[in-house]
Amino acid sequence: MLTPARPNDEELFEVVKIGAVAYLSKNTTPEDLTQTIRKVFGSEYPISDSLLARPKAAESVLGQFQSIVATGKAVDSIISSLTFKEIQVLNYIADGNSNNQIAQILQISEQTIKNHVSSILRKLNANDRAQATAIAIRNGLIHEEAPR
- How many angstroms separate the CA atoms of 1 and 142, rounded? 28
CATH of the domain at 90: 1.10.10.10
Residues 64 and 87 in one domain: no
Question: Which one-letter amino acid corresponds to residue 12?
Answer: L
pLDDT band for 140, please (50, 70, 90 cuts): confident
Residues 48 and 18 in one domain: yes
Question: Which one-letter amino acid corresponds to residue 43?
Answer: S
The pLDDT tens digits for 28-80 are 888 988 888 888 777 777 765 666 666 676 666 666 665 655 555 554 454 55
Tell me the residue range of the domain where 114 lies.
Answer: 80-138
Q: With respect to residue 147, please indicate whether it lies within any of the assigned structural domains.
A: no
Who wins on pLDDT, 85 or 141?
85
Residues 76, 139 contacting (CB under 8 angstroms):
yes
Asked which of 23, 46, 76 is the last residue of a domain, the reply is 76
Q: Which residues contact 41 (CB under 8 A, 6 or more apart)?
A: 118
Asked which of 51, 76, 101 is the last residue of a domain, the reply is 76
- How many angstroms separate the CA atoms of 89 and 84, rounded? 9
Asked which of 76, 104, 126 is the last residue of a domain, the reply is 76
pLDDT band for 146, please (50, 70, 90 cuts): very low
- How many angstroms separate the CA atoms of 40 and 135, rounded? 22
Percent of the chain surpassing pLDDT 70: 60
Q: With respect to residue 128, please indicate whether it lies within any of the assigned structural domains.
A: yes
C-alpha torsion 30→33→37→40, nearest 10: 160
Backbone phi, psi, residue 2, to 5°: -100, 130
Q: With respect to residue 146, please indicate whether it lies within any of the assigned structural domains.
A: no
Residues 56 and 101 in one domain: no
